[in-house]
Structure formats: structure tokens, C-alpha cells
């Protein structure tokens, strides 16, 4: 741990008393650090000495951009370099129906902060995969070109999807203009808003591990539904109370779930192909 202790101390320009391993995920080593001034920090480090500077930079830019909205709490970025990012450690807590309702309202405020374009001015990452944030002005074509096609090609090249599955998703991509619903301006979204990236420090919903960019606000809500966020019905009520959604949004949930499902196919294999297939069919028949 000496090396990590020295690196965290150097980044924070502070004395570090203790560093411990919290686990690993997507090739990142997770660490807890205790600083001499009593603060606790969380760090992600390159587990095998890889140069993950672009990924850490994307996380730092995303967290700071989300924080600018003053809507949903996020960790403070204490420092980062090519091999590590260090964040403030959020205090513990758990969800309640009341805090879920507030989180929904806070998320609506975050989205309303908006973005200049779809995409972002920094190269993105989602988990350990590059995320193309090239700006765009029309969401349907941007979503097809920047979120569906690159991961569909990656999955196809790795023989993780059948030819029929590839054609099915290609059909969705080709018809996005008619499937996307009413046009909306770019929202300031988290971009990887599954339940594991929502923490509840002191009972208030907070966000970690963003793939932040200007996107469609229905994307974050679809991600919350994909793996079952706690008290999802209360989150949605809180959101709708602050910013009503366009008609037909529930039927478009599978459309917005296609990107994260493609990411899961690329990261975890063909076991997610069936869910991808089901979502694509639902998107086409909504």
C-alpha cells in the first residue's frame, strides 16, 4: 500500500495515514484513504499499471459538470492523473420512499440544467469502454451513430451477437427518427444511471461513476428501470412533479435501454443478447 499512499498524498498535497483496498471493478482498483486532517477519501487506480488517464479525466470532467447544476449531490474531485482519481467519500445512508421522491425531483433539476449539444467536449468512458462524445444537434441520429452503432460493431466483431440480432438493432437505428418521440433539447444527464451508481448518503440520493454528457433525459430514467432502482415508482413521481415527461415515454424505455444493454454484451458477453433482443423488439413495436 505504500505506493498508493504516496500517490494519493502527492495528488492531494496532504498527509495520508492509511490506505485499504475496497475491491476491484472493470480493471480498476478501489481504495479507501484516511487523511491526517480526518477526511476520508475514495480512490480508483489502474489495477495493472495501465494508462487510464482518459477514463479518469472523463470521470473528473463529468462529476464537476454535474456538480455545476447544484441539483444532485456528487463526490468532490480531489485530484486525478493518468493512474488514479481521488474523490471525497460520501457518508453512508439508505433509500426511503421520501428520499426517492426527492431524488426524482433533484434529477429533473439536473436534467433541466441542460447542455450545449448532445455529447460533451471531452472523450467519454462508460465502465472501461470508450464513449464517443462527438457533439451533435439531433438526438435520434446522434444516439444511433454515437451510442448504438459503435457497440453493435464491437459486439458483432467479437461474435457475441447473431446476425439476426445485429440486423434487429440496425433496424432500430435506421428508424430512430420515428421512434424517438417528441424532440427535446439536450439534457445534462448522468449517462450510466443504474441503481448501483445511486448512493443515499444521509438519506439523500447522490450520483457516482458518471458517463456524463448532453443527452436525452429519458435515458437516465430508463437506466434506473433496467436493473431495478429502489422505490422507482417514487423516483418517477418526484421527477414528474418537477418536470413532466412527454407522452409515450414509458413505451420508449426499451429504446433508451439498448445502449446500456449493448455495453453489457461487450463487457460481459452473449448472456445479455436475449435482453437486448427483447428491448429492440419492444422499441420497434412501441
10 three-state secondary structure = helix
194 and 72 within one domain? no
List all residues 6 or more positions away from 234 whose beta carbon is below 8 Å from its beta carbon: 97, 98, 100, 101, 104
Query: What CATH number does the domain containing 185 carry?
Result: 3.90.1200.10
Q: At what angle do helices 217-226 and 232-242 cross, to 10 degrees?
A: 170
Parent domain of 68: 2-88
Query: What CATH number does the domain containing 64 carry?
Result: 3.30.200.20
50 and 160 within one domain? no
Mean pLDDT, range 123-146, rounded to an integer: 96
Q: Which three cell numbers stand for residue 243?
A: 418536470
Q: Identify the pLDDT of residue 2.
A: 65
Mean pLDDT, range 113-136, rounded to an integer: 96
113 and 167 within one domain? yes
Q: Which three cell numbers stand for residue 141?
A: 441520429
249 and 125 within one domain? yes
Asked if residues 205 and 196 have their Cβ atoms less than 8 Å apart, the reply is no
**Of 36, 57, 88, which marks where a domain is finished?**
88
Return the percentage of the chain with pLDDT > 90, whole number. 88
**Of 48, 68, 88, which marks where a domain is finished?**
88
Return the percentage of the chain with pLDDT > 70, whole number. 98
Asked if residues 85 and 43 have their Cβ atoms less than 8 Å apart, the reply is yes
Q: How many domains is the chain partitioned into structurally?
A: 2
Q: Identify the pLDDT of residue 76.
A: 97
Please say if the pLDDT value at position 109 is more than 80.
yes
Catalytic residue numbers read: 192
218 and 153 within one domain? yes
Asked if residues 109 and 238 have their Cβ atoms less than 8 Å apart, the reply is no
Mean pLDDT, range 3-9, rounded to an integer: 89
134 and 83 within one domain? no
47 and 29 within one domain? yes
Supply the pTM of this predicted model: 0.95
173 and 270 within one domain? yes
27 and 143 within one domain? no
Whole-angstrom distance, CA of residue 12 vs CA of residue 185: 38
Please say if the pLDDT value at position 1 is more than 90.
no
Average pLDDT of the chain is: 95
Model confidence pLDDT, tens digit, residues 226-268: 999 999 999 999 999 999 999 999 999 999 999 999 999 999 9
**Of 88, 117, 139, which marks where a domain is finished?**
88
Please say if the pLDDT value at position 212 is more than 60.
yes
Tell me how far CA of residue 185 lies from CA of 57, 111, 112, 216, in angstroms.
26, 10, 9, 8
Strand 16-25 to 187-189 pairing:
unpaired
222 and 171 within one domain? yes
List all residues 6 or more positions away from 136 whose beta carbon is below 8 Å from its beta carbon: 117, 118, 119, 142, 145, 146
Q: Which stretch of 10-19, 102-111, 127-136, 268-277 has the lowest confidence by average pLDDT? A: 10-19
Give the residues across from 24 on adjacent strands: 29
Mean pLDDT, range 167-190, rounded to an integer: 98
Whole-angstrom distance, CA of residue 249 vs CA of residue 221: 10
Q: Identify the pLDDT of residue 46.
A: 83
Q: Identify the pLDDT of residue 85.
A: 96
72 and 32 within one domain? yes
Model confidence pLDDT, tens digit, residues 18-69: 999 888 887 788 999 999 999 999 999 986 655 678 999 999 999 999 999 9
Amino acid at each position: 500500500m505504500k505506493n498508493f499512499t504516496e500517490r494519493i498524498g502527492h495528488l492531494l498535497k496532504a498527509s495520508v495515514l492509511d490506505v485499504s483496498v475496497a475491491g476491484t471493478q472493470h480493471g480498476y482498483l478501489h481504495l479507501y484513504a484516511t487523511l491526517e486532517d480526518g477526511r476520508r477519501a475514495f480512490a480508483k487506480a489502474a489495477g495493472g499499471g495501465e494508462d487510464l488517464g482518459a477514463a479518469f479525466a472523463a470521470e473528473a470532467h463529468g462529476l464537476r459538470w454535474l456538480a455545476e447544476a447544484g441539483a444532485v449531490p456528487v463526490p468532490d474531485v480531489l485530484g486525478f492523473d493518468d493512474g488514479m482519481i481521488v474523490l471525497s467519500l460520501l457518508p453512508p445512508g439508505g433509500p426511503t420512499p421520501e428520499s426517492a421522491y426527492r431524488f426524482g425531483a433533484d434529477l429533473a433539476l439536473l436534467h433541466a440544467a441542460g447542455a450545449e449539444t448532445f455529447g460533451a467536449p471531452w472523450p467519454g468512458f462508460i465502465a472501461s469502454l470508450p464513449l464517443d462524445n462527438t457533439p451533435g444537434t439531433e438526438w435520434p441520429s446522434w444516439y444511433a451513430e454515437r451510442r448504438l452503432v459503435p457497440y453493435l460493431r464491437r459486439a458483432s466483431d467479437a461474435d457475441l451477437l447473431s446476425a439476426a440480432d445485429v440486423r434487429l438493432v440496425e433496424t432500430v437505428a435506421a428508424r430512430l427518427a420515428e421512434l424517438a418521440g417528441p424532440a427535446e433539447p439536450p439534457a445534462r444527464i448522468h449517462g450510466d444511471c443504474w441503481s448501483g451508481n445511486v448512493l443515499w448518503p444521509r438519506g439523500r440520493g447522490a450520483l457516482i461513476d458518471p458517463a456524463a454528457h448532453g443527452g436525452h433525459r429519458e435515458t437516465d430514467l430508463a437506466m434506473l428501470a433496467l436493473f431495478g432502482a429502489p422505490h422507482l415508482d417514487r423516483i418517477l413521481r418526484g421527477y414528474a412533479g418537477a418536470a413532466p415527461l412527454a407522452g409515450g415515454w414509458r413505451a420508449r424505455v426499451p429504446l433508451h435501454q439498448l445502449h446500456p444493454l449493448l455495453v453489457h454484451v461487450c463487457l460481459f458477453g452473449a448472456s445479455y443478447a436475449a435482453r437486448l433482443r427483447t428491448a429492440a423488439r419492444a422499441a420497434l413495436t412501441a
